[in-house]
């Protein structure tokens, strides 16, 4: 089975995310995205980065947050998703020991 990995250049990424290059530079500066490559000319982004960028743009548009606030919100949402997943897993394990 082959595994394809989406790799987008800065231009392709900005076009796909409908994101101005200036915003991309700010998003990377605030640690919201971490591209592969040393310089913006070498940066590559994957499909996960595209989803994060679109989510960040929605937060900026809908809640009018600054990038620092968006970075915090995204970190908290990621942590919440991890806690919910762990909680679900623990509930499944616990259900094996509960009486019907």
Position 97 scores a pLDDT of: 84
Give the dihedral of Cα atoms 29, 31, 32, 33; nearest 10 deg.
80
Question: Is the residue at 41 inside a domain?
Answer: yes
Domain that holds residue 33: 10-95
Position 4 scores a pLDDT of: 64
Q: What is the pLDDT of residues 9-51, one digit of tens each?
A: 999 999 999 999 999 999 999 999 999 999 999 999 999 999 9
- Contact predicate 26/60, CB 8 Å: no
Position 5 scores a pLDDT of: 77
Q: Is residue 64's pLDDT more than 70? A: yes
**What is the CATH number for 18?**
1.10.1660.10
Q: Is residue 100's pLDDT more than 80? A: no
Long-range contacts of 27-30 (CB under 8 A, 24+ apart): 27/53, 27/56, 27/67, 29/67, 30/67, 30/68, 30/70, 30/71
């Amino acid at each position: 089975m082959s595994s394809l990995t989406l790799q987008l250049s800065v231009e392709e990424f900005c076009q796909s995310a409908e994101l101005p290059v200036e915003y991309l530079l700010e998003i990377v500066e605030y640690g919201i995205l971490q591209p592969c490559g040393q310089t913006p000319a070498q940066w590559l982004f994957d499909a996960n980065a595209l989803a994060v960028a679109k989510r960040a743009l929605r937060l900026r548009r809908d809640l009018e947050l600054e990038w620092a606030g968006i970075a915090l919100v995204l970190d908290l949402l990621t942590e919440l998703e991890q806690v919910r997943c762990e909680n679900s897993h623990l509930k499944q394990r616990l259900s094996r020991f509960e009486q019907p």
